[in-house]
């Protein structure tokens, strides 16, 4: 069914729209972790650049989805009321700031991190503004999207540890806390949408939640604990076993978050349908 009183699945946003939330959110989260690494004395040049590339890829996917791509600049015309416009404006500041941070320009690491947080906040508010889709309009979807972006960014940073030698122990802890926060936000969000979302939407969300619980939460936490223990035992975060465990934790955290977002934007995106409070009945007198 594509239209009617029963809930139906929207078709306007497909995997390309989901890719913006997945790649853009993960890239923004990676920039935040890169800034934290820079604050702890790490170089973290590549993560800034990779984060910017992911944000750009996500925006490119949205551009490819537009029916008239040459009108993409119209997104900048309505920043007073459109969260998409605000996302676009933040992105135009975020990308050069992240590149400047990658080249080590003083002060831009913190600026890029703040803009990255603003970017994922705009993404979350885009979903919340879709009033016709119960799975999107729930207020707690904002916290879920932001927490998922940070968990994905932490996963990407841990995944890249073999390239830069290892993550500092505080970043391992922060990544674990991001994973925990994401699951807590998921539980709060699921309770909120339980009474309003359609049954097929809830079934899709619950299927993704099983991956989130086991592969996206429990497994990363155990692997992060193992990586931390090995690093402490070896006296260095560059221990090969510790780096390997952290990278595997990153894969789990990133993959489960991406699947959750894909499910939320596509498979769980059922409209609420419509209801008629009063139905005409033949042979009765009209009142009022």
What tokens does 56 get? 């750009």
| pLDDT value at residue 237 | 74
Cα distances (angstroms) measured from residue 41 to each of 45, 102, 171, 202:
12, 14, 12, 44
The string of pLDDT tens digits covering residues 110-140 is 999 999 999 999 999 999 999 989 999 999 9
* 139: helix, strand or coil: coil
Residue 1 confidence (pLDDT): 46
Question: For residue 141, how many other CB atoms are within 10 A of its CB?
Answer: 21
Q: Are 148 and 182 in contact (CB under 8 A)?
A: yes
Question: Residue 22 and residue 76: Cα distance in Å, rounded?
Answer: 22
The set of residues, in sequence order, having a beta carbon less than 8 Å from that of 145 and lying 6+ positions away, is: 21, 25, 120, 123, 124, 127, 261
pLDDT at 32: 97
Of 147, 165, 169, which Cα lies nearest the Cα of 253?
A: 147
pLDDT the model gives residue 143 = 98
CA 175, CA 169: separation in Å to the nearest integer? 10
Residue 273 lies in a domain: no
The predicted structure's pLDDT at residue 270: 94
DSSP-assigned states of every residue in 258-280:
HHHHHIIIIIT-B------SS--
Side-chain-side CA neighbours of residue 149 (13 Å): 31
- The answer to whether residue 253 sits within a structural domain is yes
7 located within any domain: no
Number of domains within the chain: 1
State which residues form the domain around 235. Answer: 15-267
Q: How many residues does the chain have?
A: 288
| Nearby residues of 141 by Cβ (< 8 Å), 6 or more positions away | 124, 127, 128, 135, 189, 264
Tens-place pLDDT, residues 35-87: 999 998 887 789 999 999 999 999 999 888 776 766 767 788 888 889 999 99
Report the CATH number that the domain containing residue 164 is assigned in CATH.
1.20.1630.10
User: What CA–CA distance (Å, rounded) separates 83 from 89?
Assistant: 10
- pLDDT (tens digit per residue) in 45-54: 899 999 999 9
**What are 115's two structure tokens?**
């803009």
pTM to 2 decimal places: 0.91
Cβ-based neighbours of 240, under 8 Å, separated by 6 or more: none
Which tokens in the block code for residue 28?
A: 């923004």
24, part of any domain = yes
Residue spans of the chain under pLDDT 50: 1
What is the spatial distance between Cα 252 and Cα 156, in angstroms, rounded to a whole number? 10
Cβ(150)–Cβ(181) below 8 Å: yes
In whole angstroms, give the CA distance from residue 258 to residue 140: 18
In a domain, 116, yes or no: yes
Does any domain span residue 247?
A: yes
Report yes or no on 276 lying in a domain: no
Please identify which residue in the block is written with the tokens 């033949």: 282
Evaluate whether residue 284 is within a structural domain. Answer: no
**CA separation for the pair 154, 233 (Å, rounded):** 23
């Amino acid at each position: 069914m594509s239209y009617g009183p029963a809930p139906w699945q929207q078709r306007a946003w497909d995997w390309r729209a989901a890719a913006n939330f997945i790649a853009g959110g993960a890239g923004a989260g990676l920039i935040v972790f890169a800034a934290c690494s820079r604050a702890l004395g790490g170089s973290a040049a590549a993560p800034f650049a990779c984060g910017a590339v992911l944000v750009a890829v996500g925006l490119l996917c949205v551009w490819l989805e537009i029916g008239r791509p040459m009108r993409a600049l119209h997104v900048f015309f309505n920043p007073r009321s459109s969260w998409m416009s605000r996302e676009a404006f933040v992105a135009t500041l975020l990308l050069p700031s992240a590149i400047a941070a990658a080249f080590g320009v003083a002060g831009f690491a913190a600026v890029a991190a703040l803009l990255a947080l603003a970017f994922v906040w705009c993404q979350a508010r885009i979903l919340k503004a879709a009033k016709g889709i119960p799975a999107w309009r729930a207020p707690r979807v904002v916290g879920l999207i932001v927490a998922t972006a940070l968990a994905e960014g932490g996963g990407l940073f841990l995944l890249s540890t073999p390239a830069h030698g290892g993550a500092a122990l505080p970043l391992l802890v922060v990544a674990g806390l991001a994973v925990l926060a994401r699951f807590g936000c998921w539980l709060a969000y699921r309770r909120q949408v339980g009474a309003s979302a359609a049954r097929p939407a809830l079934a899709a969300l619950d299927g993704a939640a099983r991956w989130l619980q086991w592969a996206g939460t429990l497994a990363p936490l155990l692997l992060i604990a193992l990586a931390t223990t090995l690093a402490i035992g070896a006296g260095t975060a560059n221990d090969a076993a510790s780096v390997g465990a952290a990278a595997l934790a990153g894969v789990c955290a990133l993959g489960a978050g991406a699947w959750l977002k894909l499910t939320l934007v596509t498979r769980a995106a059922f409209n609420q349908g419509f209801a008629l409070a009063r139905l005409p009945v033949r042979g009765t007198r009209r009142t009022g």
